[in-house]
Amino acid sequence: MPRFLFDYIDGGAYAEQTLAANVSDLAAVALRQRVMVDVAHIDTSATWFGTTHALPVALGPIGLAGMYARRGEVQASRAASAASVPFCQSTLSLCSLGEVAAAGPPPWFQLYMMKDRGFMRGLIAEARDLGCPALVFTVDLPIAGARYRDRRSGLSGAPGLATDLRRYAQAALHPRWALDVGLLGRPHRLGNVAPVLGAQSGLEDFLAWIGANMDRSVSWADLEWVRDAWPGPLILKGVLDVDDARAARALGADALVVSNHGGRQLDGVLSTARALPLIADAVGDDLLLFADGGVRSGLDVLRLLALGAKGVLLGRAWAWALGGAHGGSGEAGVRHMLGIITAELQVAMALTGVTSIAEISGDVLVGGAAQAPHPLLSSRA
């Protein structure tokens, strides 16, 4: 794919230290191998909000996913449905919510706090009317992080002829993508915001649009009307601090995603693996906890579950599968990736001596969840 899309998926904020720590800290979580346990029957299913899924994972929201494969959000949604896992659609997707819902089960819908509250109410109402099972509200993007790779590659920056030519030149180096996605995958616009912004909903300056439309003045009080407007499960995504987790509980959220936005917002913050045990100890009995960040395998899924999550959101894993699939089928690529995650999780469960997702706890970790990955950051330190 063109460089500006590769860097958008692959990159993070500032020096990308948190991006790297998400991977390395999670990989450092040591597991206890157990033997002579009957693991003939392994159940990887998980139940959230009254619905049972085949895996304890969901495809997390990724903006611009429709640029990784032709109508990419539709393809990813179909793959998730085939694997019996949820698909969460970003507000900043190319395909509209209605297009994705028409192609398969209604997705979870991800929303930001934007200045135009009337527009937000309309999106919430559309998600409700389409039967979306959950609303995932991202709380860590009042302003876009300093993503230098996106500026160098041409995704962000001043719109104009020079930026357009840079993108066209990058696309020309990838003729298969240029034909399948660049030409046949049109329209290239933010489908959920197009009805309001019209011609201003294209990709001319994606991050500038975020800067112009996200509400920097948002506070917990502003989320109360979201809770009132949305009758279903409300998931707050982007919580890293125990005090913020407690505030979310007081607000009436049903679930949290412990997340640093994949290292794409504030560099130097805690990795997910380090923040998760603290939040799980503080509110884990009151809120359903999800986590994302640094997950590269089914083994990593097990690690996050052992650290206190009840479910894991996959991000880059499905984006790479969607964009890198051979034969032009992003759906097949995402299905293949989920098959790998399933097989790896089954092996990891068998060799740690657990046969169901409900059995996974800190007991499968060396030293327990509170001491992984670093005892100095444990809730009991």
Statement: residue 103 has pLDDT above 50: yes
Band the pLDDT of 127: cuts 50, 70, 90. Answer: very high
Rounded Cα gap, residues 4 and 346, in angstroms? 36
Task: List, for residues 355-373, the tens digit of each pLDDT value.
Answer: 999 999 999 999 876 555 5
Please state, rounded to an integer, the average pLDDT across all residues of the chain.
91
For residues 181 and 244, is the Cβ–Cβ distance under 8 A? no
CATH number of 3-370: 3.20.20.70
The 3-class secondary structure across 310-346, one letter per residue, is CEEEECHHHHHHHHHCHHHCHHHHHHHHHHHHHHHHH
Query: Under a CB-based contact definition with an 8 Å cutoff, are residues 301 and 58 in contact?
Result: no
Rounded (10°) angle between helices 17-27 and 298-306 = 80
Element (H, E) at 289: strand 288-291
Q: What is the DSSP string of 99-154?
A: HHHHHSSPPEEEE--BS-HHHHHHHHHHHHHHT-S-EEEE-S-SS----HHHHHHT
Contacts of 188 (CB under 8 A, 6+ apart): 66, 67, 94, 202, 203
Q: Which residues are bridge partners to 255 per DSSP?
A: 235, 288
Q: What is the pTM of this model?
A: 0.92
Q: What is the pLDDT at residue 380?
A: 34
Structure letter (DSSP) for residue 285:
T
Tens of pLDDT, residue by residue over 248-274, are 999 999 999 999 999 999 999 999 999
Q: What is the pLDDT of residues 287-316, one digit of tens each?
A: 999 999 999 999 999 999 999 999 999 999
What pLDDT score does 118 carry?
87
> What pLDDT, on a 0 to 100 scale, did the predictor assign at position 156?
79
Among 120-129, 241-250, 325-334, name the one with the lowest average pLDDT.
325-334
The burial of 127, by beta-carbon neighbours within 10 Å (0-12 exposed, 13-18 middle, 19 or more buried), is given as: buried
Residues 6+ apart with CB under 8 A from 107: 77, 86, 87, 88, 89, 97, 100, 101, 132
Q: Is a pLDDT exceeding 60 seen at residue 205?
A: no
Residue 59 sits at φ, ψ, to 5 deg, of -85, 115
What is the distance of C-alpha 185 from the center of its chain? 23
Q: Is the pLDDT of residue 204 over 80?
A: no
- Token code pair at residue 269: 């913050």
Using a 10 angstrom Cβ sphere, with 0-12 exposed, 13-18 middle and 19 or more buried, the burial of residue 339 is exposed
Would you call 326 a catalytic residue per the annotation? Answer: no
Cα separation, 52 vs 302, in Å, equals 18
User: What is the percentage of the chain residues whose pLDDT exceeds 90?
Assistant: 74
Residue 260 and residue 269 in contact, taking contact as beta carbons nearer than 8 Å: yes
Report whether the peptide linkage leading into residue 375 is cis, meaning its omega lies within 30 degrees of zero: no
275 close to 308: Cβ distance less than 8 angstroms: no
What is the distance between the alpha carbons of residues 143 and 160, in angstroms, rounded to a whole number? 23
**From 53, 261, 336, 374, active-site residue:** 261
**Predicted pLDDT of residue 344:** 98
* C-beta separation of 122 from 143 below 8 A: no
- The better pLDDT of the pair 45, 192 is held by 45
If one compares 264 and 284, the residue with the highest pLDDT of the two is: 264
Average pLDDT over residues 117-125: 91
Give the per-residue pLDDT at 371: 53
Other CB atoms within a 10 A radius of the CB of residue 310 amount to: 21
Residue 284: predicted pLDDT = 87
